[in-house]
């Protein structure tokens, strides 16, 4: 399994090959990924054939595209049966890939489809980086109209909590930067707020971007949405984000999934703005993608606009995330929710929604 082997140890897969062949193979895997080993034209036919059906650690079970071909979503299935999602989004000057760090998630946020399904397992570093390689291979074969044919930005905003799978996420990021050649700043780790993980990430040599999923400015509200808030309260998160930013100019974004009548008040907007200004952080408002089991609703466009304006009025920079991919269930966990609904034998038992509901 080439991606499940460290890029520095590929000789163990091809023990009879000279060093330059191993280097060529590593280039194909990380620098110029291709969908099949057939396309690795400078490798001997025997080598290509021996690796043909084990190039990718997970198989594409569903591929959907939307937004006129500028959004592509994959559901990948691993041999042990777990499934994860990745979403590719093409913009005029950048191509962004949203990847998963775990199959499922143990955090149980009440508004999140992944959280409602519970935790299956951690992804290996190779399964994490293979999502990026696969997207690059796909773009090489089928570029998106008007967007760069290479993934320029990676966001850990698919399934799972990246800082709960720290070592594998770290190794995945290392390979993206050191082997694929991506810039650290173009990689965003989105976290529900595991403060020891934020401190570990701050101590790494790469200035990756941190996105903190805040969603509420006080613990009373936040613990109803994000159960782990009881362990890592808002004050601790802010302190950890401040430390993260303090270490050579790393960037922090505050994520705010907007829910009608829950966290869209003027008062929450003002408290959020105060936190953002103090941290020098950018605010990203994400209108809720309703999920079948969540009680929360998406606010109207008018209410959403008012919330964003209120945050900006108090001096914070604030953007509204576009609702890219809604037509293909591109929100975290939703494609799997559908696929499992179609094949109930594979569905994971749905736990009782954790936490109290607003
Ligand atoms: N576990 C990490 C990263 C994956 S979730 C985290 O929570 O940050 C990525 C982002 O999607 C988070 O900000 C999360 O709050 C948001 N999200 C989850 N479910 C959503 C939904 N139904 N609608 C809109 N955003 C959602
Ligand atoms: Fe897990 Fe993030 Fe979903 Fe919360 S929002 S359940 S941390 S994936």
Report whether pLDDT(338) > 80.
Answer: no
pLDDT, position 93: 94
Cα-based angle 140, 146, 150 (whole degrees, multiple of 5): 35
Give the position, in ligand 2's atom list, of the atom nearest the Cα of 190.
2
- Nearest ligand to the CA atom of 332: 1
Residue positions annotated with a catalytic role: 85, 332
Which of 160, 191, 284 is the pocket-test mutation for ligand 2 (most atoms within 8 Å of CB)? 160
Q: Give the confidence band of 168 by pLDDT, cuts at 50, 70, 90.
A: very high
Average pLDDT over residues 305-320: 96
Q: From the CA of 238, how far away is ligand 1's center (Å)? A: 18
Per DSSP, the three-state class of 313 is helix
Q: What is the mean pLDDT of the chain?
A: 90
Q: Are 120 and 165 in contact (CB under 8 A)?
A: no
Q: Report the separation in Å between the CA atom of 68 and the middle of ligand 1, taken as the mean of its atom positions.
A: 24
Atom of ligand 1 nearest to the CA of 112: 19
- In this prediction, residues 223-238 reach a mean pLDDT of 97
Give the span between the Cα atoms of 215 and 302, in whole angstroms.
19
Check whether 236 has a pLDDT greater than 70: yes
> How far is the C-alpha of 153 from the C-alpha of 205, rounded, in Å?
19
Percentage of the chain modeled with pLDDT above 90: 84
The ligand placed nearest to the CA atom of residue 100 is 1
pTM: 0.92
Q: How far is CA 95 from the centre of its chain?
A: 14
Residues with CB under 6 Å of ligand 2 are 105, 107-109, 112, 114-115, 160-161, 192, 332
Report the pLDDT value the prediction gives residue 323, as an integer from 0 to 100. Answer: 67
pLDDT at 164: 98
Least confident of 39-53, 74-88, 155-169, 287-301: 287-301
Residue 156: which pLDDT band, with cuts at 50, 70 and 90?
A: very high
Give nearest CA residue, ligand 1 atom 4. Answer: 157
Distance CA 278, CA 202 (A): 19
CA 351 to chain centre: 23
Q: What tens digit of pLDDT does each residue of 76-121 get? A: 999 999 999 999 999 999 999 999 999 999 999 999 999 998 999 9
Residue 322 pLDDT > 80, yes or no? no
Pick the closest to residue 152 from 94, 226, 206, 229 (CA basis).
94
Question: What atom of ligand 1 comes closest to residue 290's alpha carbon?
Answer: 22
* Rounded (10°) CA dihedral 323, 326, 328, 332: 80
83-90 β-sheet, strand order: 59-66, 71-77, 83-90, 95-98, 153-156, 187-191, 209-213, 252-258, 282-287, 318-320
* pLDDT of the residue at 353: 33
pLDDT at 350: 29
Q: How far is the CA of 50 from the centre of ligand 1 (A)?
A: 40
Structure confidence at residue 324 (pLDDT): 67
* Strand-strand pairing, 119-122 and 102-104: antiparallel
pLDDT in the model for residue 334 = 53
Q: What is the mean pLDDT of residues 305-321?
A: 95
CA of 14 to the centre of ligand 1 (A): 40
Band (250; pLDDT cuts 50, 70, 90): confident
Average pLDDT over residues 57-77: 94
Question: What residues does 62 pair with on adjacent strands?
Answer: 75
pLDDT band at 225 (very low <50, low <70, confident <90, very high): very high
From the CA of 41, how far away is ligand 1's center (Å)? Answer: 41
Protein residue with its CA nearest to atom 8 in ligand 1: 191
């Amino acid at each position: 399994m080439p991606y499940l082997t460290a890029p520095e140890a590929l000789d163990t897969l091809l023990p009879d090959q000279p060093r330059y062949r191993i280097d060529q193979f590593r280039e194909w895997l990380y620098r110029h990924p291709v969908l099949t080993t057939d396309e690795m034209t400078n490798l001997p036919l025997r080598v290509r054939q021996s690796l043909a059906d084990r190039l990718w650690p997970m198989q594409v079970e569903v591929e959907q595209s939307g937004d006129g071909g500028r959004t592509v979503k994959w559901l990948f299935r691993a041999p042990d049966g777990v499934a994860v999602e990745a979403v590719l989004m093409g913009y005029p000057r950048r191509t962004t890939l949203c990847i998963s760090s775990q199959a499922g998630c143990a955090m149980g946020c009440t508004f999140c489809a992944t959280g409602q399904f519970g935790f299956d397992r951690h992804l290996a570093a190779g399964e994490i980086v293979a999502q990026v390689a696969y997207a690059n291979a796909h773009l090489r074969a089928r570029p998106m109209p008007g967007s760069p044919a290479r993934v320029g930005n990676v966001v850990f905003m698919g399934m799972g909590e990246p800082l709960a799978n720290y070592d594998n996420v770290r190794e995945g990021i290392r390979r993206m930067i050191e082997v694929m050649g991506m810039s650290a700043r173009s990689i965003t780790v989105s976290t529900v707020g595991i403060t020891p993980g934020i401190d570990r990430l701050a101590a790494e040599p790469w200035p990756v971007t941190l996105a903190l999923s805040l969603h509420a400015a006080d613990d009373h509200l936040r613990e109803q949405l994000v159960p782990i808030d009881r362990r890592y309260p808002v004050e601790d998160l802010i302190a950890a984000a401040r430390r993260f930013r303090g270490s050579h100019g790393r960037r922090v974004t505050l994520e705010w999934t907007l829910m009608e009548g829950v966290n869209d008040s003027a008062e929450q907007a003002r408290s959020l703005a105060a936190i953002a200004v103090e941290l020098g952080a950018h605010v990203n408002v994400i209108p809720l993608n309703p999920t079948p089991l969540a009680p929360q609703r998406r606010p109207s466009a008018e209410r959403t606009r008012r919330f964003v304006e209120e945050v900006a009025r108090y001096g914070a920079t604030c953007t509204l995330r576009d609702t890219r991919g809604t037509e293909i269930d591109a929100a975290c966990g939703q494609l799997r929710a559908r696929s499992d609904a179609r094949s109930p034998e594979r569905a994971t038992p749905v736990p009782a929604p954790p936490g109290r509901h607003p």
